Amino acid sequence: MRRRARYSALVCLVDAIKHGTTTLIDHHASPNYIDGSLDIIADAVDKSGLRGVLCYEVTDRDGIDKASAGISENVRFLKRLAAEPHPRLAGTFGLHASLTLSGATLQACRAAAPEGTGFHIHTAEHQADEYDSLQKSNMRVIDRLQKHNILGPNTITAHGVHFDAREMEILKETGTWLSHQPRSNMNNGVGVAQIESMMRMGIKVCLGNDGFTNSMWDEWKTAYLLHKVEHRDPRRMGGYDVQQMAIYNNAALASVFFPAAPIGQIVPGAVADLIFVDYHPHTPLTEGNLPWHIIFGFQQSMVASTMVAGKFVMKNRELLTLEEAEIAARAKEIAPRVWKKYEEEVAKVM
């Protein structure tokens, strides 16, 4: 199990380095290997040279004992980081989604979380999350989470596809973050979140990927196009809005977890996370048109070098901290066994 967890992390870390993604905010789940799983992932992040914010996804789907184990894993890892701070590692408290969490489990998570700790939770990705919350509590998802004191300026809510107006107001009032995952939402066929409206309200909206590749420029392009086709209006989701999410808001969120030095800026004293792009524009590149150069011109293959905290983790397209071929080979060996185990578990249920 340790090996499976390790290589599941390593393949994503290789992907991030090659695509110029320097900071990952991860929401991990491994119900057959909970205790110590965050240490395995943290060690992989440390080896890669990247920066990571980690948590374990607590859920009632696998029974009370595993939900309790998930709570303990979050608390244990947070205490480890408090006792042994690491400049490139941070933690939060993971929750799956309202529809797989009872009120008792939410309360247990709130009670267990160290003071000042926020949460990372999927919210209203599908209508079923809202219907379930109404059935359980006679409240919508965000209202229910507010009741349990889950929201706040250190908490990340993902998706928000089916929020109503009051839920959006609560996010604004509490300073809670929202992460928009356009590729994931398209893949799961769950709908399109009202991102422009939420940004207009002042909600802190970031751009994420929810398990898709760490090629964030692909996420830029998808966000830019998805909202246009959804509203049948090419004026929707302008380049500046995508830039605000992907550059400024993402950097501000990362700074919540790594406040020691500026992130996402090229200024004296900043963390020195830089990427070098092999891009030769055919038209002038200016501060005013940069978002459209990224959306229409930049491709993932153009990332030539990636630097984190002043150290190259990839230089001239050569990975310096991880052995890609070895990781791919090991992952290819492990994957069939994972799939077989899954099929066996499904057969037991059926």
The whole-number average pLDDT for the span 256-272 is 95
Q: What is the DSSP string of 300-325?
A: GGGEEEEEETTEEEEETTEESSS-HH
pLDDT band of residue 2 (cuts 50, 70, 90) is: confident
| pLDDT class of 349 with cuts at 50, 70, 90 | low
Strand boundaries in 36-153, DSSP class E = 51-54, 89-91, 93-97, 119-123
Tell me, yes or no, if the pTM score tops 0.85.
Answer: yes
Task: Return the DSSP state at 274.
Answer: E
* Contact call for residues 80 and 46 (beta carbons, < 8 A): no
pLDDT confidence of residue 20: 97
> Where is 181: in which H helix or E strand?
none
Nearest alpha carbon to residue 249 among 198, 189, 179, 181: 179
pLDDT value, residue 69: 98
| Helix H or strand E segment including 178 | strand 177-180
* Structural domains present in the chain: 2-325 (3.20.20.140)
Quote the pLDDT of residue 58: 98
Q: Can you count the helices (H) and strands (E) in the chain?
A: 14, 12
Q: How far is residue 342 from each of residues 138, 268, 336, 337, 349, measured CA to CA in Å?
A: 35, 50, 10, 9, 11
Residue 43: other Cβ atoms inside 10 A: 13
Q: How many other C-beta atoms can be found within 10 angstroms of the C-beta atom of residue 294?
A: 21
21-75, pLDDT tens digit by residue? 999 999 999 999 999 999 999 999 999 999 999 999 999 999 999 999 999 999 9
Answer whether 173's CB lies under 8 Å from 144's CB. Answer: no
* Residue whose entry in the numeric block shows the structure tokens 């999927």: 122
Name the token pair of 76. Answer: 């244990």
- Quick one: pLDDT at residue 340? 82
DSSP 95-119: EEEGGG--HHHHHHHHHHSPTT--E
pLDDT tens, position by position, 161-217:
999 999 999 999 999 999 999 999 999 999 999 999 999 999 999 999 998 999 999
